[in-house]
Amino acid sequence: MRPLTLLALWLALLLPAGCAPQSVRALPPLPEVPAEPYRVVEAFAARLADPLRVVNTATFELGWQTLVVLGLTRVDAATGTFAVVGLYPAGGVKLFEVEGDRASVRRSFAQPQLLERGDLPAAVAEDTRRIYLDRVPAREAVSTFEDGVLRFRQPTGAGTLEFAFAGPEAVLVEKSYREEGAPAWTVRYGDYRKQGGNLYAGTIVLEHHDYDYRLTLHLKEILS
């Protein structure tokens, strides 16, 4: 059973609280067509903190049900590893702890209730991998310039991974994966903050198009 399906079963037992859909503010187009497109990628990559240590407020939305978790996230892009500790916002009770890399996930702790009908930590690990690892395309990716947005496309697994850069500072605004021409998932990045010469996305929204499921991260604190 897929982690997302398990997450859906688990969320079905939780808060039936409706909320307004979260969104990422659109950035203006790039001011001009880049003469050397991959230099945009290199400049953006140089401003990403690595390793990354942040605290996010994570809101899971499945249909009309929501769940809010405080997440302490550590990502080491150079080694392709990450770790997440999930806390219940009221009281700071630890809900789960998980770590992983591009190929595997290791759960070191989870409240028993999280595993009775699903595996929330496994779903969180998959989403963390999609959001924070591989935030720049490979050098051999094919680039196009469309409506002020610089896009890169590269084959990945059974489908295609696409990256979109826009805004005055040419930042990553979207990362998406498609299979057989249909979108599987999309991550949107926005509200970038600057600290210590690095860029941090203040709002991140991940959508699974095969499910009525959305994860929104709001940056609460930068630890690195």
Q: What mean pLDDT comes out for the span 17-31?
A: 64
Read off the tokens for 191: 């509200």
Q: Given a cut of 70, is residue 105 above it in pLDDT?
A: yes
What is the C-alpha separation between 38 and 177, in angstroms, rounded? 20
Residue 136 belongs to domain spanning: 3-222
What is the C-alpha separation between 117 and 19, in angstroms, rounded? 24
| Distances 3 to 93, 118, 170 between C-alpha atoms, Å | 23, 8, 34
pLDDT of residue 4: 45
Say which amino acid occupies 88: Y
Q: Given a cut of 50, is residue 130 above it in pLDDT?
A: yes
- Looking at residue 64, the DSSP 8-state letter turns out to be T
Pure H helices in 34-172: 37-45, 113-116, 120-132
pLDDT of residue 221: 97
What is the count of structural domains for the chain?
1
Phi then psi for residue 201, to 5 deg, are: -70, 120
Yes or no: say if 167 and 27 are a contact pair by the CB < 8 Å rule: yes
pLDDT of residue 90: 83
Query: Residues 37-81: pLDDT tens digits?
Result: 999 999 999 999 999 999 999 998 877 778 899 999 999 999 999
CATH of the domain at 36: 2.50.20.10
Question: Which has more pLDDT, 39 or 113?
Answer: 39
**Residue 102 burial class via C-beta count within 10 angstroms: exposed 0-12, middle 13-18, buried 19 and up:** exposed
